[in-house]
Every structure is written in structure tokens, then in C-alpha cells.
Chains A and B, each alone.
Chain A
Amino acid sequence: MTEVRGLATASLTKAFGGVVALDGATVEFRHGQVNALIGPNGSGKTTFFNCVTGMIRPDSGQTTYRGRDITRKAPHAIVRAGVGRTFQLCRVFPRMTALDNVLAAVRPAGLPGLLRGARARTEVDRARGWLTRLGIEHLADVEARNMSWGQQKLLELAGVLMGDPETVLLDEPAGGVNPALLDRIGTLVRELNAEGRTFVIVEHNMDLVMSVSDHIVVFDRGRPIAEGPPSLIRSDERVLGAYLGV
């Protein structure tokens, strides 16, 4: 399993003014598994995500995916390389229907592809397939802004999956959702992982983290301080120290 090198970073550093958000973070995620990234607030998890996905440029360091350097690539190019993501505060296109939200992730090839109708049969079927799988098919023609928070989170996930990424980064999938939905998301992650997708999840909800992940990386002050399977992390003193601030 670990022969294939997936998403990895080397000495990633990023400072905002005087605040160092990432301090030489070197991480390698397990390809083909569900990875979790945890750590106290302000430990640099979201900045790490943003650097890895090209949304912000690191001051120094390197990101590789399957051995290829993707550090300076534009976000859309990183998506094309196979790494998709969701946002911490769930971002959907508010004034587009759910179906269009998902269809927006279609990546047309060449000029003819660009000019084809956005609602070509095959893509619509695929998009509806994802909506169905996430249980929001009945909302296909509803504008996203009229959907509930939980529905929007599912919709965002559907959009990311429509792009068929090999590796999916989820930024706080459990944030603000109810327990029933939380279970659904957990199950979904396991299912999709079984189908061959790698996950990296930033999450505060320890129940979710411990139940779904195979491998956990703990962040503190902009760098990883521990990693290992859930059982190990649960008993790691450094992790406890980081969370309690001692």
C-alpha cells in the first residue's frame, strides 16, 4: 500500500506578517487510506490545506503528489493532478441550482468541449448520480442558497466528487452538522475509500476522526508533532500536551 507515494510536503513554511502559520511542515500522507489532520485551533491546519491546494503560496518548501512537484501550480492544475478539496466554511455557488453546482466541476476538454451544452446527458446523469448517493437528489433544481447548512455541505462534497479526484481533502466535514448527518458522512468516507479514494480530513470532532481514519497526523504551531494510527495517537502525551497547552 505505501509503495505508491501520494500527497507529501517537505519543509512547508508560511508566515503572515510576523505570525508563522507553517513552520517547516514535512508530512507524508498514506496513499489509499483515510488520513486525518488534527491539532488545536491556530495550529496551521487550514493554512496547510491552502498551501497544498495552491490557494496561497508558501514562502518556502515543497509539495509533491505522486512524486511530481505541484508547489507552484495554480489551484485548478492541482485539481487536475488529482487532489480535490472542500472548504472549512462550506462553499457552494449560492445562486446556482444544486445540479449546476455539481456540473460546474465538469472539466471540459478543448474548445468543442467548452462550447458543448452544459447539460449534456452523460454528465447530468453522472451529476444526478452523485446527488442521489449523497441523498439530495430531490433538491437538484433548488438554488444552493435556499438549502440548509447540512445540505450545502453534502452538495459541496458532491461537487468535489464530480471532479473524480483520487485524493480528497475535507476541511472540517463535521463542522456544524447534526449527528445523523455526521454518521452519513462517516459511512460515505469509508465507502469511497473502499472504492480506492484517498482522504485527508481536518477535523475537530474526535469521534469522527477516530472512527474513520487509518492514519492521524497531529499539528501544533505549524508543524507535525506526532503521527500514527488512532490507537497510538489516543495515548500520545505530546498530543495531549498540545491540546491542553502544556
Chain B
Amino acid sequence: MAIARRPVGRIVQVAMVLVLAAAVLSFPALAPNPYILSAGVVVLNYAVLSTSWNFVGGFTGYISLGHGALAGLGAYGTALLVTRAGLPSFVALVVAALLVAALAVPIGFAALRVRGASFVIVSIALVLILLLVFQSWASLTGGSRGLVVPRPFPGLLRPEHHRVFYFLFAALLGLALLAWWLIDRSRFGLGLKAIREDEDKAEALGTPTFAYKLVVFVVSAGFTGLAGGLYALWFGDLDPVFQFSILTGSYMVLMALLGGVRNLFGPLVGALVVGIALEYFKVEFGDTQLHLVATGVLLALVVLFMPDGVLPAIGGLLNRVFRPAQNSIREVTAAQLRDQRAAEAEAREPVDAAAGRREGAR
């Protein structure tokens, strides 16, 4: 962090953002056919979703398996506001996202009042109950017959349609990343990270943890709703079974975890990897259910061995392999610790201390 404030680091960072943005924005021009372009839209949609998820997952450490439901709500909200209330498409999109955010308040109230496990339970229950409601309330939602969302630009040919939505998704991704970055560097973000580290301790330092969690959950829900609504406008056909699917939420988690939840671009990278991996599994395992097995095993491996994300883990490994001369931050500290020890010339009881902390954490 200290180094990052140096001008060179800053310039390199800005340059990287520009190159990354250029790479994303030039993709439609490079895509040889509409199919590749539409695949790009899907990946961007994943990226927005997992970045939105990461507002909660990354900052607070609360893992939601139900964000798919929030995206579904955004999608159906947008569609219904267009078809039933006659709002213009993009007005409907914003209104729907606001509604999803508003709905996140009571949901968050029930889910976040108590710790951990109940949050996950509520998040899963959210998907299941919304599936039931949207399936059953056929007079409003069309139920299993589905709901057709009118195209916002009816005159556009399909390839053009993809192109326009590619840029819309890219803009939304930019917005989500910007918001994440702003929170990350703010005092609010520091408070959230404190919650992730130790919620009791954060509370004892005077952070109103419940309010913080609720606010960030609402922000996350709003972005997820936007992503879902934009998807509805792009895709055009909604069906409760696909909108309120538990797998959508789990893919968001997988993407964010793969890329690393503590990083601004972690979920984006994860979305690229998962987007490609899903294609690969499908091609590789053809007409069997093994793609589910692959997803499950991958998730289990990440959770067991690389809970901070695969890319951070690989990054750490590369650092150790290729830069033995330049010590990692941990080794620097170890050295400092040795100095410290020498200075104090005193044997300590790190073992007892560590054991004590484990007890305390339970």
C-alpha cells in the first residue's frame, strides 16, 4: 500500500486500467461472428453478477448462495414494468433495480440479524420461495409459460442487438467496479473488512456492524438487480425455472472465489475462467451430467485448498518461485520479528498464544 502511493505505481495502475478497458471494448470489433459476440455478452453478464456478489462476499465475508434470486427479481421486475406498466425499457430497468434494493432491506433484516449460518439458509430459501411464487403466480408472471420481454431497440438486427448490449454490460461492469473500488478505499469499506475479520471486535470498536452489513447487502442487491434486468432486456425470454436457479448463485460464488474475493478484478477474472470452463466441460463431457460433478469438485477444491482464491494462490506461488531474492511480505515480517525478538531478548509463548486464539475464535 505504501508503495502504491508512489507516482510510478499510480501511473502503471492507470495504464493497466486503460489497457484492460481497451481490451474489453475492442472485443466486439474482433469478434468474427454474432455467436462469439453473444458469448462475450454472457461472460460480461457473469462478471457483473459476480462483482455485485462480491460487495457482500468480499467485504463482509458473508457468503450468499441466493444472489441468483436477486438477479431473477431484477429481470422479472424489469420485464413486468415494461409489459404491465408500460414503462420505457431503461426506466423500468432502473426502477426494478431500486425495487430489488428496497426488497433487500427486509430480507437483509431477517438474514443478517444473526450470524453466519442463518444468512446462508435465508439466501438459499430466497431462491426456492421465489421460484415457487413466480411459478405459481401465473396471472402476473406468466408462470411456466414464460414471459416475453419486448426488445428495447426493436429495429436492430440480432448482431447489432448483441453489440449494443455488449457495451451496456461493459458500462454496467465499469460502474460496479467503480463502486467497489470507492467502497474499498473508504472508511465504510474499512469497517466492512473489519467485520469480515472479526465481527465482535469490529462492534467493540464502535462499528455499527448490522447497519453496515445491511447497507452493503442493499447495494449488492441493487447491482445484481441491474444485471438481471439488463439480461432480461437482452435475452428477451424469462422462465422462473431458469431465473430462480440455485446454480446461478453458486456460479457467482465460484467465480468470485476463483478470482479472489479481496480483489477488485477477482470476480471479473473468475467470470472469464468459469465462462470458458463451463463451455469446456460441456464440450468435454458431452451429454452426461459430469459437468455438474466437475463444477462440484472444482468448488470443493477451491474451498479446501485455496479459500482466498485460485489466482491469489497461484500469484503467491509464482512470487515465491521467481522472486526468491525479493522476500514476500510475510518473510519481511518474520525478519522484523527476529529483530524484535533480539531486541527484547525474551522468550515468548507463541504456541500458547496461538492455541488461545483458536479457542477464542470458536
Contacts and interface: CB of A to CB of B under 8 A. Distances in A.
- The answer to whether A and B touch in the complex, with CB atoms under 8 Å apart, is yes
A63 B194 CA distance: 27
Contact of A116 (B187, B198, B333): B187
Contacts of B193: 93, 96, 100, 104
Interface string A101-126: 00111111000011111110000000
Interface string B193-222: 110011011111111111000000000000
A153 B213 CA distance: 27
Given A104-B205, A142-B333, A118 B360 contact: no
A178 B348 contact: yes
A141 B1 contact: yes
B178 interface: no
Interface string B160-189: 000000000000000000000010011111
B337 A146 contact: yes
Contacts of A185: none
A230 to B, nearest CB: 27
A193 interface: no
B21 interface: no
Given A79-B205, A108-B187, A114-B188, A91 B360 contact: yes
Nearest to A86: B204
A198 to B, nearest CB: 17
Contacts of A115: 182, 186-188
Interface stretch (B97-105, B269-277, B351-359): B351-359
Interface in B60-108: none
A58 to B, nearest CB: 17
Interface in B304-358: 329-330, 332-334, 336-337, 340-341, 344, 346, 348-350, 352-353, 356-357
A138 B336 contact: yes
A107 B2 CA distance: 23
Interface in A139-165: 139, 141-143, 146-151, 159-160, 163
Given A93-B197, A146-B337, A141 B185 contact: no
Contacts of A138: 336
B57 interface: no
Nearest to A179: B346
Nearest to B208: A76
Contacts of A150: 344, 348
Given A76-B203, A148-B337, A163-B206, A176 B190 contact: no
Interface residues of B, number: 45
Contact of B205 (A74, A105, A147): A105
Contact of A160 (B194, B205, B334, B359): B205
A91 B201 contact: yes
B333 A176 contact: no
Nearest to A103: B190
Interface in B281-323: none
A104 to B, nearest CB: 4
Contact of B207 (A53, A76, A113, A181): A76
A55 interface: yes
A118 B187 contact: yes
A146 B207 CA distance: 24
A93 B204 contact: no
Given A80-B206, A93-B201, A149 B190 contact: no
Contact of A75 (B198, B203, B350): B203
B204 A53 contact: yes
Interface string A12-30: 0000000000000000000
B191 interface: yes
A85 interface: yes
A159 B205 contact: yes
Interface of B: 1-2, 182, 185-191, 193-194, 197-198, 200-210, 329-330, 332-334, 336-337, 340-341, 344, 346, 348-350, 352-353, 356-357, 359-360
10 nearest A-B pairs in the assembled complex, by CB-CB distance: A79-B206, A93-B197, A89-B360, A146-B333, A149-B353, A114-B188, A118-B190, A104-B194, A91-B201, A75-B203
Given A94-B197, A178-B348, 14 more contacts: A53-B204, A84-B205, A85-B204, A87-B201, A87-B204, A93-B197, A107-B207, A146-B333, A147-B337, A148-B341, A148-B348, A149-B349, A163-B205, A176-B356
